[in-house]
Amino acid sequence: MHIIADTELILTPEKKIYHLNLSKEEIADDIILVGDPERVVLISSKFDAIEYKISNREFVTHTGTLNGKRISAISTGIGPDNIDIVINELDALVNIDFETRTINKTKKKLNLIRLGTSGALQKNIAIDTFIASSYGLGFDGLAHFYQNKELLEQKMGNAYTIHANWPVNLATPYFIKASECLLAKFPELAHGITATAPGFYGPQGRALRLTPTIGDLHEKMETFRYKEKKICNFEMETSALYYLGQTLGHNTLTICAIIGNRFTKKYSKNYKKTVEEMIDLVLERLTNN
Pair 263, 125: CB distance under 8 Å: no
pLDDT tens, residue by residue, 95-132 = 999 999 999 999 999 999 999 999 999 999 999 999 99
Helix (H) or strand (E) holding 33: strand 30-34
Please compute the mean of the pLDDT values over residues 169-190 and round it to a whole number: 97
Q: Which amino acid is it at 236? A: M
pTM for this entry:
0.96
Burial of 128 (0-12, 13-18, 19+ CB in 10 A): middle
Whether the per-residue pLDDT at 1 is higher than 90: the answer is no
Return the closest-CA partner of residue 83 out of 254, 271, 259. Answer: 254
pLDDT band (50, 70, 90) for residue 187: very high
Whether the per-residue pLDDT at 289 is higher than 90: the answer is no
Report angle CA 148, 153, 156 to the nearest 5 degrees: 145
